[in-house]
Structure 1
């Protein structure tokens, strides 16, 4: 029996599944980031504090990274929508993952937690 975290990733269809698994492995390869199952989704913590999460956008049906302190971050591709504190970065699973873009936003997020 899979734990809820692994089940979340395994139940997705391709290409969303591969995209989410790549993002999961990418975050877990960063120093100080740990993964937890919280609020029914994969949540990533940086040095013990909520940092970001992975989810699927209901309207666009694309995976996204939700940034916990997104309201303090500035990047042209971050979307606030109706969220007060968080911003999201949509990831098109049919395209190459924008690693440089994610790294740029990640650097901002790390700076907020420093």
Structure 2
């Protein structure tokens, strides 16, 4: 098992399945340009080798989240900044439907900022 698989294996169900599904959707959204690495012990997604987003767990909210690089440029009430300089997070609520289309739209927006 590689380190990225190990990261997901340590997560309890049903969160593991949700995050693996989200991971698959992110990677499939642009398979030629989006890659996955393990940085700081977390699964990071990169666009043309530049930071795009990562997955993590909030102890404060007791929820997993997607953190978007250049989130400071994204203006959506669903995103939380909470003192972060470059990132904003989207909490994943296991009781609600996963907002896949919204997440992919945010990724497309962030890609516009990292092309330069």
TM-score (norm 1): 0.92
For the 8 Å contact 2:29–2:104, the answer to whether it is kept is: no
Residue in structure 2 matched with residue 64 of structure 1 by the alignment:
65
Q: Quick one: distance in 2 between partners of 1:35 and 1:96?
A: 24
Q: Quick one: distance in 2 between partners of 1:40 and 1:77?
A: 26
Unaligned runs of 5+ in 2: none
For the 8 Å contact 1:15–1:94, the answer to whether it is kept is: no
Q: Quick one: distance in 2 between partners of 1:100 and 1:20?
A: 15
Residue in structure 1 matched with residue 7 of structure 2 by the alignment:
8
Unaligned runs of 5+ in 1: none
Give 1:103 shift. Answer: 2.6
Q: Runs of 4+ in structure 1 displaced over 6 angstroms?
A: none
Give 1:28 shift. Answer: 0.9
Residue in structure 2 matched with residue 109 of structure 1 by the alignment:
110
Question: Matched residue of 1:77: which SS?
Answer: coil
Q: Quick one: distance in 2 between partners of 1:110 and 1:7?
A: 27
Does residue 29 of structure 2 align to residue 21 of structure 1?
no
Q: Quick one: distance in 2 between partners of 1:61 and 1:15?
A: 14
Q: Residues 87-106 of structure 1: matches in 2 within 5 Å? A: 87-106=88-107
TM-score (norm 2): 0.90
Give 1:112 shift. Answer: 1.4
Question: Matched residue of 1:24: which SS?
Answer: helix
Count of aligned residue pairs for this structure pair: 113
